[in-house]
Chain A
């Protein structure tokens, strides 16, 4: 069991690194826009000193852009903070859709880079007892491998349904994504996490889905 803990920790560190690198890139982009807007304000002031009149509408546009980007950066930092805290969170009871939403938010930039669209299916919230960070890690492994298999313009819809004492997380892929191949890759790469969470990974090629079966209550 201890070797599994080591493998779970190792995968977790890799996951944490990938996510924080991606988030820091998003912050950098927001800072770059704020920097250019601030610079443009300086340029316009310098031009006004040479006789070009300042356009209040233009200044308002720049101010709005800075405010919007600061708000965006603040959202990114909140997401980072929530994610960072999830890494040392014990077993908790939480809504599965919250976990899906968090995973999608973390993965969105990388999905966009690959031209893949991520959606969450409508449905009722299901309370599960789990380790959110480990489950998000497994979902990330699924998405990462989908990004590798998917071409531009593909779509993945994440959802969850209750089946007796289990919850089944589904990743519904567009037909071009081979779910059997995905199952093999995820089962291999995510094996320590799957074991740790007492989950089962099954491809459902008929419906173009990858299904992750997990118990509603965490089993120590």
Chain B
């Protein structure tokens, strides 16, 4: 069965192209150009993975993330952002994000992360570490979180 993906980004052109590229790679993609539209879609349907932009007008990515997790605490969410900082990345993962990727992203890497997140038991991130959506960072999850943020540390953030 095709992996179902919900893409959320305020740039319609970016959404359309990325949706087409993921579709070419066998995924079933739905797009939302705002946090509100995304929340409506999630109330109506279930997606294997949600790929969410961190910086959006009206409701920013972290607010959307919180609401998505409130709707379904086991929802698998990958943050895709122009500028991921370590502190925001850590914050996002504490809120329940499974992974954080920085734009521009290599499509192979994105597909790999989506598949990893989608195949993990619900509530487990790309690093194979489970986490509750909120609250203090759990013991044992820190290692996975550090793995996910390794790219950000490498880029000096």
Contact = CB atoms under 8 A, between A and B. Distances in A.
Interface of A: 21, 24-25, 28-29, 31-37, 39-40, 43, 47, 65, 112-115, 152
Given A114-B57, A115-B57, A33 B83 contact: no
B14 interface: yes
Nearest to A62: B17
Interface of B: 11, 13-14, 17-18, 20-21, 24, 55-58, 60, 82-83, 103-105, 107
Contacts of A32: 14, 82, 103-105
B57 A40 contact: no
A40 B83 contact: no
Nearest to A46: B24
A39 B107 contact: yes
Nearest to A28: B82
Contact of B104 (A24, A36, A113, A152): A36
A28 B103 contact: yes
A115 B83 CA distance: 20
Contact of A40 (B20, B56, B105): B20
Contacts of B18: 36
A43 B105 CA distance: 15
Contacts of B17: 33, 36-37, 39-40
Contact of B57 (A24, A29, A65, A113): A113
Contacts of A21: 83
Contact of B21 (A34, A39, A114): A39
A113 B58 CA distance: 6
A25 B103 CA distance: 10
Contacts of B82: 25, 28-29, 32
A33 B11 contact: yes
B153 to A, nearest CB: 18
29 contacts: A21-B83, A25-B55, A25-B83, A28-B82, A28-B83, A28-B103, A29-B11, A31-B103, A32-B103, A32-B104, A33-B13, A33-B14, A35-B105, A36-B14, A36-B18, A36-B21, A36-B104, A37-B17, A39-B17, A40-B21, A43-B21, A43-B24, A47-B24, A112-B57, A113-B55, A113-B56, A115-B57, A115-B58, A152-B58
